[in-house]
Amino acid sequence: MQPPVLAMPDFCQKFVLQTDASSSADAAVLSQEVDGVRQPIAYASRTLTPCEKKSSSVYELECLAVVFGINKFRRFLEHKEFLLETDNQALSWILAHLRQLGKIVVGWHKFLRLSSLFNI
């Protein structure tokens, strides 16, 4: 088994952004479909700060991972439609319960909504 080779981006094709969060890190993968096969273009990850580890719920961590991925790959995604794949249940809960959430998550939602990158 060989690790996947990074593909060159095709700016005429739609990008796919996959994000995930854990209690200690965020990760994002940028890819595109090439001949029916999803090819990775770039990977990104980071460890959470001690403050983020202590005070973040699962929902906040998932939202933080989306914001991290969009910021990390902004030059590929800006002004383009793209597919976001993340923990749908957590993200759906966030969008349905914005009034109950802290100011940080509401700020992330505003960033995503107002950004030219993403339309929620």
Q: What is the pLDDT of residue 5?
A: 85
Q: What is the pLDDT of residue 47?
A: 97
- Report the predicted TM-score, pTM, of the whole model to 2 decimal places: 0.77
Contact between residue 67 and residue 56 where contact means Cβ atoms under 8 Å apart: no
pLDDT, tens only, 1-59: 776 789 999 999 999 999 999 999 999 999 999 889 999 999 999 999 998 888 778 87
DSSP string, 70-96: HHHTHHHHTTS-EEEES-HHHHHHHHH
- Arithmetic mean of pLDDT, 80-89: 83
> Which has more confidence, 47 or 114?
47
Contact between residue 15 and residue 80 where contact means Cβ atoms under 8 Å apart: yes
Q: Which domains does the chain have, with CATH numbers?
A: 18-114 (3.10.20.370)
